[in-house]
Amino acid sequence: MNKFVFILFIIVALTAQSQSKTRILFILDASNSMNLKWENQSRMESAKEILNSSIEELRGIPNLEIALRVYGHQSAVSNTSQDCNDTKLEVPFGKNTIDAIKKKIKFLSAKGATPIARSLEAAAGDFPSNEGRNFIILITDGLESCDNDPCVIAQKLKEKEVNVTPFVIGIGLDLSYLEKFNCIGSFTEAENKKTFKNVLTNIIDKALLNTTVQVNLNDLALNPKETDVSLFFYRAGTQELMYTFTHTLNRYKNPDTLILDPSIKYDLRVATLPEINQKNIEIIEHAHNTINLNAAQGFLKFISSRSSYNVKYAARVFQKDKNDNKTINHQELGSTEKYLIGSYNLEIFTLPRTYLNVNINEYKTTTVDIPAPGNLDLKTAKLYVGQIFVKRKIGTYEWVCNLNDNVRSQKWQLQPGDYKIVYREKGQFTSAYTNEKEFSIKTLNTNYLKL
């Protein structure tokens, strides 16, 4: 293989018996392909480094036993042959096995085949009993190279009441071929050693804590389809930020699983538009927790289809039924943004201001198309003090802008409509010299006005 992927399987034996003890069996790939480079090391050296640091962090944890099985390290593979029985339990379960595992890892060399299925099948017998919680974490750089099918073995394990969940960490490659692992479970990806270490730590945390959380951002049909927003978990009743995540759907379009400390309560802020807040969330220990939030969303598209390229508007978006008129977003012309469903007010910074009410519907795009402006080209014989007003209804005029009383030539882009200029000569100090002039603006036309 010329591509590299780490595949981590957690095989969890769930029983109704005592769960006072936790066992983790690490299965390490020492096949010949592990000699290929990854970043600045071989795959094998990288795997050794990550595994060593991970098990060191397990030292001293009560009621925990770890063991090591290796495959591909006893017989060299050739162009004509490979040893598909090359799998061995190198360090069995027991107390204080970390040093023995690290010593065994230190002297391992990669040279053989990739008998994943036979290693999984043999690993089922590595556990001294079914009591407690039994886990297997398999680290490998490739697919099965022998004649057995890991999916068949996985099914056999399930029939023995062993549930299989894989975690696949891909390094810069197309993982579409890994769909064959659908028979076992889901998988995830990483692009470098740091990400791989983080995911491995996350998996070990799941094995030890067995407390998980998923956040469902539900649509109107209560399906958790919304995603790609930031999640902020605060200690309940405070501004102490405990965790930050980008909400993600896995390859099976289910919300990703999170690990949170179950000993505290949380306030959750979800960065939708507008944001969603959930207070005083309690995490149940040793269980899978689901936080359900109503997050049905649609889109607002803001355009001015007939305007020239140099028109730049922005829209202030705020909720219609809120008394505080708090700005939710400042949306630029030409953009499409996602909002929770509902009714919104828009204040669009045209000249004059444009005010609209829009409804955002689930999975739909509401398009606001602002009329293209026209131009007012104003020239004056003298300097004038004055203001421009737009006619809203009979006898009602709304202020648009002030004249610059220091220049004799001015230009504006104005929305189509009827207008009036109220002005007087700058050097006159009597209101009786007030004048007014009405004019109209049409889309994409220029009105040349002289005073």
Do 217 and 311 share a domain, yes or no? Answer: no
pLDDT digits (tens, 9 = 90+) for 288-318: 899 999 999 999 999 999 987 778 899 999 9
The packing angle between helices 116-123 and 150-159, to 10°, is: 20
The answer on 304 and 277 residing in a single domain is: no
> Among 369, 398, 428, which residue terminates a domain?
369
- Count of domains forming the chain: 4
Same domain, 26 and 172: yes
Percent helix, percent strand, percent coil in the chain, to nearest 5: 15, 40, 45
Q: What is the mean pLDDT of residues 248-256?
A: 84
CATH number, position 332 = 2.60.40.1120
Domain limit, last residue, from 271, 294, 317: 294
pLDDT of res. 144: 66
Q: Determine the structural domain holding residue 222 and report its residue range.
A: 212-294
Radius of gyration in angstroms for the set of CA atoms belonging to the chain, rounded to a whole number? 33
Mean pLDDT of the chain: 84
Is pLDDT larger for residue 166 or for residue 342?
A: 342
Q: What is the DSSP string of 420-443?
A: EEEEEETT---GGG-EEEEEEE-T
Residue 215 pLDDT exceeds 70:
yes
How confident is the model at residue 115, as a pLDDT?
86
Q: How far is CA 126 from the centre of its chain?
A: 38
Q: What is the pLDDT of residue 47?
A: 86
Residue type, 132: G
Task: Check pLDDT > 90 for residue 98.
Answer: yes
| Residues 191 and 278 grouped into a single domain | no
User: Which range, 195-199, 206-210, 218-222, 424-428, has the best average confidence (pLDDT)?
Assistant: 218-222
The span from the CA of 122 to the CA of 84, in Å, is: 12
The pLDDT > 70 percentage for the chain reads 83
Report pLDDT for 188: 55
> Is it the case that residue 165 has pLDDT exceeding 50?
no
pLDDT at 113 over 60: yes
Mean pLDDT of 99-124: 88
Euclidean distance between CA atoms 24 and 184, whole angstroms = 19
pTM over 0.85: no
What pLDDT is attached to residue 204?
77
Mean pLDDT of 333-357: 96
- Domain boundary residue, one of 315, 340, 369: 369
State yes or no: pLDDT of 180 exceeds 70: no
Average pLDDT (226-233) is 97
Res 6: pLDDT: 52
Tokens 């109704």, located at residue = 16
Q: Say whether both 306 and 260 belong to one domain.
A: no
pLDDT at 3: 46
Q: Is residue 364 located within the same domain as residue 384?
A: no
Q: Which region among 90-104, 149-163, 341-355 has the lowest average model confidence (pLDDT)?
A: 149-163
Higher pLDDT: 265 or 63? It is 265
What is the domain-level CATH number for residue 85?
3.40.50.410
- The pLDDT-based confidence of 34 (bands split at 50, 70, 90) is confident
Looking at the structure, tell me whether residues 42 and 58 fall in a common domain: yes
Q: Tell me what pLDDT residue 250 has.
A: 79
Residues 262 and 400 in one domain: no
* pLDDT score of 167 more than 60: no
Instruction: Based on the fold, state whether residues 91 and 158 are members of the same structural domain.
Output: yes
* Dist CA 230 CA 93 (whole Å): 41
Tally Cβ neighbours within 10 Å of residue 362.
14
Checking if the pLDDT of 170 tops 70, the result is no
Residue pLDDT, tens place only, 412-430: 999 999 999 999 999 898 9
Residues 188, 336 within the same domain: no
**Same structural domain for residues 259 and 190?**
no
Residues 70 and 44 in one domain: yes
Percent of the chain at pLDDT exceeding 90: 51
User: pLDDT per residue over 13-23, tens digit each?
Assistant: 433 333 457 88
- Partnered with residue 204 across adjacent β-strands are none
